[in-house]
Amino acid sequence: MSDYSSLTQLGQKTVWPAAPEDAILERVPAPAPGKNYLIRFTCPEFTSLCPMTGQPDFAHLVVDYIPGDWIVESKSLKLFFASFRNHGAFHEACTMTIADRLIAILDPVWLRIGAYWYPRGGMPIDVFWQTGAPPDGVWIPAQDVPGYRGRG
């Protein structure tokens, strides 16, 4: 059994970080090192602020990754996502900040992010990125978030 004593948020009352740079992403050892399997996190109610108007922006995020030695601790990820709530940045910057932070802490075998943003100015802006081609033999399901048509 792994020692999780280094975790500072799981099982603790935790103050929500005010900004993404204040958020602490934590990791734990991957339970199946050396095996390629996919982990998916879906955040259908992600929010941030438009840096120009201060109005809220909403997105449906899907993060898929194949772990190396580490997996992200989910409470810390939820707090990280929530830290964008009062953060002003364009859709592309929010999306890539999330990807960059996850890669920095996890050093995954593979990662992709799909950020399906709701319309701003009448037009949805969806942002997609991945580290490269996924390894052979891994089942990677489609993200299955429909193109904007009231996305329900």
Nearest to 63 by CA among 80, 51, 49, 48: 80
Ranges assigned E (strand) in 6-109: 27-29, 39-49, 56-66, 70-72
Q: What are phi and psi of 94, to 5 degrees?
A: -60, -50
| Residues belonging to the active site | 50, 57
Secondary structure of residue 92 in the 3-state scheme = helix
User: Distance of CA 45 to CAs 62, 78, 127, Å?
Assistant: 11, 11, 16
Q: Which amino acid is at 88?
A: G
* Percentages (nearest 5) of helix, strand, coil residues in the chain: 20, 30, 55
